Structure 1
Amino acid sequence: MTSLPQLPAELWLQVFSFLSWKDKLSMRCTCSHFRHLLDKSRPLWRGFCVVLRHFSRYNRRFWRSLAQRHVGSVMVCSGKSKHLWQLSASLPALRALRLDDWREGGLDKLKLFQQLQRLSITSCSTPLKTLDFLFPLSNQLTQLSLCQVQLTCLSSQLLDAVGQLTRLTSLLLHHDGSLWVPTPGSILTHRPDLTHLSWTMITYKTLSRDFFCPAHLSAGGGAVQLSELQLLDYDAAVTQEVLQPLSRLQSLSIFHLYSVPGPVCHLTTWLTSLPELRSLSVHGGHPLAAYVDFLPRSLHSLTLCVELHPDDLQVASLRAPCLEHLHLEPWSSSSDLVRLLPQLFPHLRTLHIRHQHVSDDDFLSLQLLRRLDTLEFGVNTRWFREWVGTNTPNKQLSSGRRLWPCLNTKVREYVQYVSRTFLRVQLGCTFCREQEDAEWSFCNWNSSVLSFFWFYSGYGTLLPTTCRSVGQSKGKERKRVIKFRLHIMASAGK
């Protein structure tokens, strides 16, 4: 019997390009033909990151498959120096490396990666006594992240090591406060290409005038190239003179040290000094009412994890009329917040909100946001039961089977509406416990066919939340992908 003609490889590759990482990996396991097509197509794996945990289980075939796919990003969990040597032998062209829970003090083997550009060291169980491993990478690294790392070296050694990274554009330094680090002004001055900075502020009570720029440069009106700034454990006094070098700043994120604010709201000084700010993220500190009148009109993205009320949002809508991205985690439980959003912020493209309870009418009013691409709700377990039914056992939800029939009328009505308006709808649910993070997502492709998918990711792994526009032709309305997700936080055993 004559075998059926195979489809062209170009057509299969086009189909594979629409699949998620998990689906691509599943297709590799179906047959040798698909495995060959997927492994030989480098563009299909652009941006793919593999997590390596148990190196003794990986054989030559596994390493060869990673090399064929040109994997450029790797996360090593609980690794040692011998694992870096093995990794460099199989993936010498690695460009991004994250070391989580590193078990040894030395990192000399990093010099084996001649093309490494992004390095992240997080949650080290062993203190880092020296940062000499950065010197061989001085002409390579563009991004460096040191998060939850205990540094026992001198602060001068830290500044010298970072100062040698001539191509650095992003620096993230988070520590426990045991090391007193001088002001980042010298780093910003000697690294003109540095555009992103994330800095722990727990050791600072007052920001000196040369905090972001040396005095002799700030006096002459010099400005640093920094465009994104993130401050952790912040509770420091600041003046407008200190912030003069940050005239080009586009994004500001502040995580306050204390949930109970002090007598003075320092954020008003920041907002007054940064009139061109486009993105603002505030976690903790004073309620929104203390600084809402100082929000710049240039804001396009706003994240508020603070105490706020409907009246505050009304003022915010007047101060930032062009807002497109809004993330709200209000400490108050006002039921009017969701209902007001379509009226106050009609141009929203993404909306992330955590709320205790939303009525059916308030939830369905979100369909008035015509430009909305992404809608993400965070709810507690009690409200989740109102969505899926009180008689649905956790076992059924955790197995990822038949979740759609359990959802009540208001979720279905919203999906039916957006399926008529948009080309594709993605409705997802995340159920988080202490040691697991699972997401259920099902897609309505053409208002009639509903498919269901379930996938698991390790605790702490970021689940994909981005959407992209598809199918635009001249003279026709743009069809978008809208993703709606639920986040349910619960403790283990409940």
Structure 2
Amino acid sequence: MALHTVGAAQLPSEVWVHVFGFLSTTDKLNIRSCCKYFKKMVDHWSLWKGNTVVLKKLCAYTTQFWTTLRRRKISSVVVQRASLKEWKQLALSLPWLTTIAVEHCFDVKAFEILKQFHNLKRLAIRSCRCGQGLSDAIVPLQQVTHFSVCEMHCAPRSDIISFVSKLSHLTSLLYHEGNHPIPRQTFHIMLNRLPHLKHLSGNMDPTLSEEALKCLPSLQSLAVVYRDRDVDPSRCHLKTWLRELPQLAVLNIAKGHPVSAYAHSIPGTVTSLTLQRVMVEQKDMKTLGKQASGLLHLHFDPCSYKSGSSIGEIPKLFPQLMTLKMRLQQLKHLERLEILDAQSPHLLQLIHKLQVLTNHSTQIIHSRGLRDPTGCYCTHY
């Protein structure tokens, strides 16, 4: 690239850094690899805020690699299948990490290294196989405010519940253990010990009492994942839980009861709603429109919806809607449309027609797994 010999050097580096801020990660890396002049600019820490690095085979990384991560001030990583020695290397190289997702860890001693990350705020444990001693390694991490556990193997459930209950500063808890739901009484006790909790996501057992969330009036985000669909409205305690959450803004529901069982209880404070694999009727949509007329974000993916033609009423039901995520439908006046269908030539034609109808004002993307590498990827989401 001869750009730097012509006029690139005539502009202050601050200008180029600002320009690079509009590029995707791929584009930034391409520029970095083909132009030495821009290499340091592309590595400027301001261009990598919120970026997560997935680390595999840490022993293969060079000194230059770690230097680059330090220059970018990377604060979020996913660590896969790391040995105890590699964990020690990570602690020495990036001691300021604030977010760590641990995947496929089979040595409980590795978790003891986490206490060396004094700025750690977000911790996710996924698909790990650990025995006794996990609680002793996690409890010292009292600074952690966001904790996620998904698909743990071998670790005693009592051990997991014990250290979660002792992380008293938690503001966000994600507990996805579908085959090992927390017993009713234990669940109540655990929540009572987490007074600062604002975000809760878990596999909800239908046997949980109506008072299960009574101790969390400040809850702002709730994700309820049922193991099966349940058509008996009398067993639905969700409607009671929702009435006791006056500050709720985000509600995600997967499977479980028909929407009619709790639609009238959804607080008007909800601005983001996700309905996955639930039974919905046209009258339920109208009820949702009345209950949450200020809805800004909707993820609509029901297992049954008989009145598909009324999908076009969504803009009327939710006049402030900004983003919609659903199976492909042609809708106007959207800022963003995320399509769940698999790509096909016919689909591409429909997308082109939609872009023409909306004068290319709608951002259209395809769902391709998780957007957040540190997020949970279990089968429910």
TM-score scaled by structure 1? 0.66
Which residue among 283, 297, 301 is the counterpart of 2:272? 301
2:355 alignment counterpart: 415
1:170 alignment counterpart: 172
Deviations 1:214-254 (A, max 9, x none): xxxxxxxxxxxxx3332314312533x55443333333321
SS in 1 for 2:280: coil
- Letter paired with 1:310: Q
Matches of 1:154 and 1:320 in 2, distance apart?
A: 37
The number of aligned residues is 363
Q: Is 2:195 aligned against 1:286?
A: no
SS in 1 for 2:91: helix
Matches of 1:164 and 1:272 in 2, distance apart?
A: 28
1:255 alignment counterpart: 225
Deviations 1:261-300 (A, max 9, x none): 3462332322344455333222112222233233333332
- Letter paired with 1:326: L
**1:50 deviation in Å?**
0.6
Q: Is 2:367 aligned against 1:427?
A: no
Matches of 2:120 and 2:358 in 1, distance apart?
A: 43
In terms of fraction of residues, the more helix-rich structure is: 2
1:336 alignment counterpart: 309
- Superposed, which structure 2 residues align to 1:60-139 within 5 Å? 60-106=63-109, 107-127=111-131, 129-138=133-142
Q: Is 2:264 aligned against 1:327?
A: no
C-alpha contact (below 8 Å) 1:129/1:153 kept by paired residues: no
1:33 alignment counterpart: 37
Higher RCO (C-alpha under 8 Å, 6+ residues apart): 2
Which residue among 21, 26, 29 is the counterpart of 1:22? 26
**1:135 deviation in Å?**
4.1
C-alpha contact (below 8 Å) 1:127/1:149 kept by paired residues: no
2:6 alignment counterpart: 4
Matches of 2:291 and 2:168 in 1, distance apart?
A: 40
Matches of 1:54 and 1:235 in 2, distance apart?
A: 42
SS in 2 for 1:413: helix
SS in 2 for 1:25: helix
Q: Is 2:53 aligned against 1:50?
A: yes
- Letter paired with 1:259: R
**1:115 deviation in Å?**
2.4
- Superposed, which structure 2 residues align to 1:231-270 within 5 Å? 231-239=202-210, 241=211, 243-262=213-232, 264=234, 265-270=236-241
SS in 1 for 2:65: helix
Matches of 1:51 and 1:325 in 2, distance apart?
A: 29
1:399 alignment counterpart: none
* CA RMSD, 1 decimal: 2.9
**1:9 deviation in Å?**
0.5
Which residue among 284, 300, 306 is the counterpart of 1:312? 284
C-alpha contact (below 8 Å) 2:129/2:154 kept by paired residues: no
Matches of 2:108 and 2:204 in 1, distance apart?
A: 27
C-alpha contact (below 8 Å) 1:128/1:150 kept by paired residues: no
1:203 alignment counterpart: none
**1:12 deviation in Å?**
0.5
SS in 1 for 2:134: coil
**1:342 deviation in Å?**
2.1
TM-score scaled by structure 2? 0.84
SS in 1 for 2:108: coil
C-alpha contact (below 8 Å) 1:238/1:269 kept by paired residues: no
Q: Is 2:341 aligned against 1:379?
A: yes
Matches of 1:277 and 1:92 in 2, distance apart?
A: 35
SS in 1 for 2:228: coil
- Letter paired with 1:45: W
CA shift in 2, pair 1:96/1:35, >3 Å: same
Matches of 2:250 and 2:266 in 1, distance apart?
A: 11
Matches of 1:129 and 1:179 in 2, distance apart?
A: 20
Specify the structure having the higher radius of gyration (Cα): 1
Matches of 1:154 and 1:242 in 2, distance apart?
A: 19
- Letter paired with 2:268: R
2:186 alignment counterpart: 183
More off after superposition, 99-108 vs 178-187: 178-187
C-alpha contact (below 8 Å) 2:173/2:200 kept by paired residues: no
C-alpha contact (below 8 Å) 1:301/1:323 kept by paired residues: yes
- Superposed, which structure 2 residues align to 1:342-381 within 5 Å? 342-354=315-327, 358=329, 363=330, 366-367=331-332, 369=333, 372-380=334-342
State the identity as a percent. Answer: 33
SS in 2 for 1:282: strand
In structure 2, stretches of 5+ residues that fail to align are 374-381
CA shift in 2, pair 1:268/1:158, >3 Å: closer
Deviations 1:29-74 (A, max 9, x none): 12222111122x2211111111011223211111111111111111
In structure 1, stretches of 5+ residues that fail to align are 196-226, 388-406, 431-436, 438-459, 465-494
